[in-house]
Amino acid sequence: MTQTGMDTDVFQAFVVQLERFVRERLVPAEKETEKLNRVPDAILAEMRDMGLFGLTMPEEYGGAGMNVSQYVETIRILSWASGAFRALISINIGMACSALVKNGTDEQRKYWLPKLADGAIAAFALTEPDSGSDAAALKTSARRDGGDYVLNGSKRYITNAPFADMIIVMARTEAAALPKNAHISAFLVPADTPGVSIGKPEEKLGQNGSQIADVILEDARVPAAALLGGEEGTGFKAAMQSLDAGRICIAAAATGYAARILDCGLRYAAERKAFGQPIAQFQLIQAMLADSKAELYAAECMIRDAALNADKGRQVSLEASCAKMYASEMCGRIADRVVQIHGGAGYLKEYEAERFFRDARIFRIYEGTTQIQQLVIAKNMLRRMAG
Amino acid sequence: MKILVPVKRVIDYNVKVRVKSDQSGVDLANVKMSMNPFDEIAVEEAVRLKEAGTAEEIVAVSIGPEKAQDQLRQALAMGADRAILIKTEETVEPLAVAKLLKKVVEEESPELVILGKQAIDDDSNQTGQMLAALLGWAQGTFASKVNLADGKIDVTREIDGGLQTVSLKLPAIVTTDLRLNEPRYASLPNIMKAKKKPLDVKEIGDYGVDVAPRLETLKVTEPPKREAGVKVESVAELVDKLKNEAGVL
Ligand SMILES: Cc1cc2nc3c(=O)[nH]c(=O)nc-3n(C[C@H](O)[C@H](O)[C@H](O)COP(=O)(O)OP(=O)(O)OC[C@H]3O[C@@H](n4cnc5c(N)ncnc54)[C@H](O)[C@@H]3O)c2cc1C
């Protein structure tokens, strides 16, 4: 069963508007976003109006019902601008939507999906101080108490936590680890639940404007209806189900941003003169531009192919990890070369190349580090060989 | 009150236009096409009048190729209620467009027609004026502000050296200038809704209008390349060059 997504002509009409919105509204707002360390309210309102928070939610819940290809293409286009804008919508259209659609109860879908499509902001809290890559080792606990669950623990590096209206909290409903990580459940926690507090936003290397913070749960009490799917032990499975699309999505973000960075490098090379000619005329500069372009093109092809296969209902863990690893590393290389093309200017805050270099670094870390992607790729290779 | 907004499909304003090698026109193959920016302003103004409760219905109309449906859908997504495409693959000159629009006006009976002051492809700046003449309606061209009240519309116009405000009796023709408003983006939910709004496709033949071209294009050429500037040492040298080289003094 192929996921057809939105009508192609409607999607194309949206792409035309989105490209303009990104260049005319988001890019000019980047400096202020960086300075305020948050997306300005007026821009957030415009993003909501554009319908960006509802890209993937089914139409019946107020969303646009995009398939993976369309959603990934949208993210690529959006990522011409700072990652701060994308980060705001990322959980809504990714993990939260997928978890609710695939695993939520009817009631949970009806309650949350329209709100999220409308622009209520979601966060996804998996990582903890002592568990990151080894996510299943998380310690946060959910204890059943009559008709409620009581949550305790702390979450770390949670994107959007300071702005969130709703937090998907991954917690243990069993003390001992179970096969298939069935000791972990997911809870849909309104951010204003008593006992939930948000730490101070972390100071980061890049992607300023997007905020991450701790989420602290101290006897936070939620009704049993907040348990995703109404069934214990399905939380990890739910997280895994959106993992592939999520990884293609980060690959698309890295690819979109890399295109922007390379464009900046190309323009600078054409303008800057040394030894009486534009530096773009020097073959060593041309080599950097050409390598960058070829790698960018490869990543673009990878994300499209992986998304297309995901829409065809194929298992794409290997392809998604390949795309995520390659695109994030590629973006880092391009950001590095573009600093080099800028020479001394590339090291100064005054030039965009400096910010690009800092921003690009995260792609290799979240949604599974490069090393974790390598493990996934190799594991899938061996599995496919065994048949 | 009903507003009619004509929109034209033109080369996107960001595209670097290339002249065909036989100088017969500009190359349109694989070139990004968009709604004429002045027409976007016209649609926006109509939608604002509707949002303010002054207008009830907005009808967008385009005379152009099948693909001009994309531009009409954009107008619908911005807030127009329905659309009419008068299909033709030929170039239609301003007078013919004005004649066709007159027929549409007779069918639709709008009280206001808002057009772009010109289309950015041929920059004719004629259609609105010709339509006003054919209909015998009042016209306010190059509008930078409009105010609709009590059966009349005040149009502030950008003219050389300042602003002029004219007061027109309805029905009337308004053409938009750049500063009238900042058109909205069509949002994803509204693009989806636009798909369900009515779009009638007609043929030029349906209107019984003579659209035969009156103009003949002799040739189209690239503008001359700008040459690099020179630095002058003194005012005297500048005056000398303006006099003897540029011949402008
Ligand atoms: C800006 C930002 C936003 C984030 N947003 C969120 C969020 O919204 N929600 C959320 O839950 N988390 C979020 N995270 C957390 C992120 O997903 C983790 O930081 C990431 O998974 C890595 O975990 P860790 O930091 O604990 O590193 P560790 O797991 O401690 O890894 C340290 C190093 O060891 C390597 N390593 C670990 N295990 C292996 C192995 N088996 N084999 C080889 N090498 C290994 C890693 O590749 C890495 O190089 C965010 C992080 C950042 C920086």
Q: How far apart are CA A279 and CA A32, in angstroms?
A: 31
The domain boundary, picked from A60, A88, A120, lies at: A120
* Mean pLDDT on B183-207: 97
In a domain, A2, yes or no: no
Instruction: Indicate which of A6, A17, A22 best probes the interface with B, i.e. most B CBs within 10 Å of its own CB.
Output: A17
CATH topology of domain B2-246: Rossmann fold (3.40.50)
In a domain, A195, yes or no: yes
Q: How far apart are CA A88 and CA B242, in angstroms?
A: 58
In a domain, A52, yes or no: yes
Structure confidence by residue, pLDDT tens digits, B63-79: 999 999 999 999 999 99
For residue B225, pLDDT beyond 90:
no
Question: Which one-letter amino acid corresponds to residue A358?
Answer: R
All residues of chain A having their beta carbon less than 8 Å from the beta carbon of residue B34 are: 16
Give the one of A9, A25, A50 whose C-beta lies nearest to B188's C-beta. A50
Contact A17 B191 (CB under 8 A): yes
Structure confidence by residue, pLDDT tens digits, B168-193: 999 999 999 999 999 999 999 999 99
Q: How far apart are CA B90 and CA B97, in angstroms?
A: 12
Strands (E), chain A: 122-125, 141-145, 148-159, 166-172, 184-190, 196-198, 212-223, 273-274, 277-278
Residues with CB under 6 A from ligand 1: A 124-127, 132-133, 157-159, 204, 212, 362, 365-366, 369, 371-372, 375
Structure confidence by residue, pLDDT tens digits, B140-160: 999 999 999 888 999 999 888
A250 and A374 together in one domain: yes
DSSP-based helix, strand, coil % in chain A, nearest 5: 60, 15, 25
Residue nearest to atom 44 of ligand 1 (CA): A371
pLDDT band at B231 (very low <50, low <70, confident <90, very high): confident
Residue nearest to atom 25 of ligand 1 (CA): A132
Domain count, chain A: 3
All residues of chain B having their beta carbon less than 8 Å from the beta carbon of residue A54 are: 188-189
Contact A51 B77 (CB under 8 A): no
Q: How many angstroms is it from A365 CA to the middle of ligand 1?
A: 6
Q: How far apart are CA A142 and CA A93, in angstroms?
A: 26
Q: pLDDT 10s per residue in chain A (387 long)? A: 789 999 999 999 999 999 999 999 999 999 999 999 999 999 999 999 999 999 999 999 999 999 999 999 999 999 999 999 999 999 999 999 999 999 999 999 999 999 999 999 999 999 999 999 999 999 999 999 999 999 999 999 999 999 999 999 999 999 999 999 999 999 999 999 999 999 999 999 999 999 999 999 999 999 999 999 999 999 999 998 889 999 999 999 999 999 999 999 999 999 999 999 999 999 999 999 999 999 999 999 999 999 999 999 999 999 999 999 999 999 999 999 999 999 999 999 999 999 999 999 999 999 999 999 999 999 999 999 998
For residue B227, pLDDT beyond 90:
no
What CATH number is given to the structural domain containing A207? Answer: 2.40.110.10
A132 and A102 together in one domain: no
For the question of whether the overall pTM of this predicted structure is more than 0.95, the answer is no
Q: What is the mean pLDDT of chain B?
A: 95
Contact A54 B34 (CB under 8 A): no
Q: How far apart are CA A48 and CA A19, in angstroms?
A: 16
A128 and A155 together in one domain: yes
In a domain, A165, yes or no: yes
In a domain, A361, yes or no: yes
A160 and A97 together in one domain: no
Enzyme catalytic residues of A: 367
All residues of chain B having their beta carbon less than 8 Å from the beta carbon of residue A64 are: 188-189, 192
Contact B187 A49 (CB under 8 A): yes
Ligand 1 atom closest to Cα of residue A155? 11
In a domain, A1, yes or no: no
A62 and A184 together in one domain: no
Phi, then psi, of B92 in degrees rounded to 5 = -115, 125
pLDDT at A318: 97
pLDDT at A387: 82
What CATH number is given to the structural domain containing A32? Answer: 1.10.540.10
Cβ neighbours around A266 below 10 Å, total: 17
The domain boundary, picked from A120, A154, A170, lies at: A120
Instruction: Indicate which of B74, B192, B196 best probes the interface with A, i.e. most A CBs within 10 Å of its own CB.
Output: B192
The helix (run of H) or strand (run of E) holding residue B60 is strand B57-64
Structural contact between residues B164 and B105, judged by C-beta atoms closer than 8 angstroms: no
Cβ neighbours of residue B222 closer than 8 Å, sequence gap 6 or more: B19
Which residue of A lies nearest to B185 if distances are taken between CA atoms? Answer: A17
B47 close to A (CB below 8 A): no
Percent of chain B past pLDDT 90, that is, above it, reads 84
In a domain, A188, yes or no: yes
Q: How far is A208 from chain B (nearest CA, A)?
A: 26
A113 and A165 together in one domain: no
Structural contact between residues B109 and B170, judged by C-beta atoms closer than 8 angstroms: no
Structural contact between residues B184 and B78, judged by C-beta atoms closer than 8 angstroms: yes
Cβ neighbours of residue B11 closer than 8 Å, sequence gap 6 or more: B17, B26, B28, B31, B32, B33, B34, B120, B121
For residue B219, pLDDT beyond 80:
yes
A250 and A324 together in one domain: yes
Instruction: Indicate which of B188, B192, B199 best probes the interface with A, i.e. most A CBs within 10 Å of its own CB.
Output: B188
The domain boundary, picked from A233, A259, A286, lies at: A233
A109 and A136 together in one domain: no
A255 and A269 together in one domain: yes
State the DSSP code for A107: H
Structural contact between residues A125 and A168, judged by C-beta atoms closer than 8 angstroms: yes
Q: How far apart are CA B181 and CA B37, in angstroms?
A: 11
pLDDT at A2: 87
- Select from B141, B107, B114 the least CA-distant residue to B126: B141
Please give the radius of gyration of chain A, using alpha carbons only, rounded to the nearest integer.
21
ipTM score: 0.92
In a domain, A157, yes or no: yes
Q: How many angstroms is it from A249 CA to the middle of ligand 1?
A: 17
Note down the domain range covering A300.
242-386
Q: Which of A133, A134, A214, A363 to mutate to test the pocket of ligand 1 (most atoms within 8 A of CB)?
A: A133
pLDDT at B129: 98
